[in-house]
Structure 1
Amino acid sequence: MGQEVTLRNFERENVARLAELANNVKVVAHVRDNFPSPYTVSDAHYWIDFCQKNHGNTSFHQAIFLGEEFVGGIGVLRQDDIHFYNGEIGYWLGEPYWGRNIMTQAVIQMTSWIFENTTIKRLFAGVFETNPASMRVLEKAGYHLEAIHRKAIVKNGIILDEHLFVKLG
């Protein structure tokens, strides 16, 4: 690969590239419906504003860089109530960067940071059955398939299985 994968804060200078990479139906096909589509510059400004606010110990979001180039995003949402020590990890990567081991490195870095800097003890990710590449990312990052929730989600009008991957800290 040649260039280092790093996680950094989202900044204003990421707006145009964020909107460009996120406005892709192939990216949107593998994320939750609350991910805007089409993804506009206004959506990018909203997201960066959200990420720059202090969310205490409930929400952790980072921009993914390959060298000095913004390529995607990753985050963890702490759960609440009796699930307080759980966090849901989610991520996306711009299509030009798929298949280059970038996301595996980002997931490893984010996972390590969460376990070292928060009280979260269990990270999990739900992956659509249509996204084997994301399943492989999690496996390479040390996550294990804990369950398959049959016909548990709907994306684009299609009912799908959700594969639940977990890593304990």
Structure 2
Amino acid sequence: MNDFLDTRLETARCRLRPWRMEDIPLIPPVANTREISWNTSFRFPHPFDEAAAERLVHWSRDGAGGDKWQFAVFLGGKLVGSCGTIRGTDVEAHTAKVGYWLDPAHWGKGLATEIVGELVRYMRDETVIEQLTAVCFGWNPASRRVLEKTGFRQEGLRRGVVRKWGKLTDLWIYGLLL
């Protein structure tokens, strides 16, 4: 874990590093949007307050570098989002599930593709994980494009299995062999 907590990744525009306790007050001003929550699991609440930020940071550090690889994403020294993976369990322990979110002010500028691409590189080069999985909701075609641009291929589509805030949509399933 300690080695992972010292990890620093760089993209053309962003710096990625594991979450720190001092990040807690930085998270709510970025994460407290319905737009982000709409495209994530219920684990990412709305409203997103400091208590939610504290849970996120503590959760990300529990098993860091062994079962979780979670990164805060900075652009110009300012927090703009997060990306990371969670190791699968049991017979899927050689796999990890990818997740990411980005401040809506930075959507449509290629940043998500940049950070997910770097996350994929890191997981391939620095871990024993052999396969990545990602899912996205049917109402989020931009996330599907991010995954496709970073090498993921569609492996499945589950119709009408996502219910969020009274709306139903499909769940798109993507995979990438490392």
TM-score by length of 2: 0.87
Q: In the TM superposition, what are the counterparts of 1:12-161 in structure 2 within 5 Å?
A: 12-55=21-64, 57-161=66-170
Tell me, yes or no, if the aligned pair for 2:18 and 2:69 is still in contact at 8 Å: no
The one-letter code sitting in structure 2 at the alignment partner of 1:152 is V
Which stretches in structure 2 are left out of the alignment for 5+ residues?
Answer: 1-11
Cα distance in structure 1, aligned partners of 2:103 and 2:89? 30
Shift in Å, 1:56: 5.1
Aligned-pair identity (%): 29
TM-score by length of 1: 0.91
Shift in Å, 1:160: 1.5
Tell me, yes or no, if the aligned pair for 2:83 and 2:99 is still in contact at 8 Å: yes
Cα shift readout 1:25-74 (whole Å, capped 9, x = no counterpart): 11110000111221111221222233334445211100011131110011
Corresponding position: 1:166 with 2:175: yes
Cα distance in structure 2, aligned partners of 1:108 and 1:35? 22
The one-letter code sitting in structure 2 at the alignment partner of 1:165 is Y
Cα distance in structure 2, aligned partners of 1:114 and 1:20? 29
Cα distance in structure 1, aligned partners of 2:107 and 2:26? 16
Cα distance in structure 2, aligned partners of 1:61 and 1:100? 22
Which stretches in structure 1 are left out of the alignment for 5+ residues?
Answer: none
Size of the alignment, in residue pairs? 167
RMSD: 1.5
Shift in Å, 1:89: 0.1
Cα shift readout 1:108-128 (whole Å, capped 9, x = no counterpart): 111111111222111011110
The one-letter code sitting in structure 2 at the alignment partner of 1:129 is G
Ranked by relative contact order (alpha carbons within 8 Å, sequence separation 6 or more), the top structure is 1
Larger deviation: 78-87 or 44-53?
44-53
Cα distance in structure 2, aligned partners of 1:141 and 1:6? 18
Cα distance in structure 1, aligned partners of 2:117 and 2:76? 17
Shift in Å, 1:132: 0.6
Cα distance in structure 1, aligned partners of 2:79 and 2:64? 23
